[in-house]
Amino acid sequence: MNRPSPRGKRIPPFTVLRFARYLNFLCNLPEEVREISSAEMARTIGIKATQLRQDFFTLGGFGRQGRKYDTRVLEERLREVLALQGSQHMVLVGAGNLGQALANYQDFERFNLYLRGIFDTNPKLIGLRFRGIEVMGLEHMQDFIREQGIELGIICVPHSVAQPVCDALVEAGIKGIWNFSPENVLVPEGVVVQNENLSVGIMNLSYQLSIARED
């Protein structure tokens, strides 16, 4: 199911998720911190140091025996692995509350992810600007994607229209979809989708809480 990385090694899916967390952690670190131990990093993130080292071992060459990790090297390697070194461009569909929140989210640019277009059907929203990006009518979306050669799409529309919006994105050439609607969208072969259902998080929390209460 999973293919080898650019360096020829396959990365376990869970390790990829942790790579993202490591990179995020490193980016939040103060500039002057140049090195960090697996123990310190793991404790802050909330995992075991041995797991972190095992993750890095998967790719090899992240650090040197006996020495702490160099934060710069680590960050660079992680960006490389996660394919975040070149700029990637995104469009966002649905400029409701969540859409606006994402449009204003500033962290994306730290990872070379740039929002280029926002689309909605609501006339009250069309023409508004978020961080300099104008909300356009949905009818302009496909042309925009094709002209700019954009590959990433974010879906923040109500669940009843999530699938048609997704289909339109794919038809226009989008290769990766980040879906915040509660509906799981289906995509053809070759297109990647990441479903980010917010309710799942709070339900899991509710369960964990009920377990904790039993102690």
Characterize the bridge pairing of strands 192-195 and 176-179. parallel
Q: Which of residues 140-199 bind a copy of itself (CB under 8 A)?
A: 151-152, 159, 175-178, 182-184, 186, 190-192, 194-199
Question: Of residues 45, 49, 59, 73, which one binds a copy of itself by CB under 8 A?
Answer: 45
Nearer to a copy of itself, 17 or 127 (CB): 17
Element (DSSP H or E) covering residue 198 = helix 198-214
113 binds a copy of itself (CB under 8 A): yes
The type of residue at 215 is D
In our burial notation (b when 16+ CB lie closer than 10 A, e otherwise), range 170-179 reads bebebebbbb
How many residues bind DNA, per CB under 7 A? 28
Least gap, CB of 64 to DNA (angstroms): 6
Number of neighbours of residue 156 by Cβ within 10 angstroms: 25
Q: Which of residues 10-29 bind DNA (CB under 7 A)?
A: 12-15
Q: Which of residues 54-83 bind DNA (CB under 7 A)?
A: 54, 56-57, 60-69
How many residues bind a copy of itself, per CB under 8 A? 71
Question: Residue ranges of the alpha helices (H) in 49-161?
Answer: 49-59, 71-81, 97-104, 141-148
Least gap, CB of 200 to a copy of itself (angstroms): 4
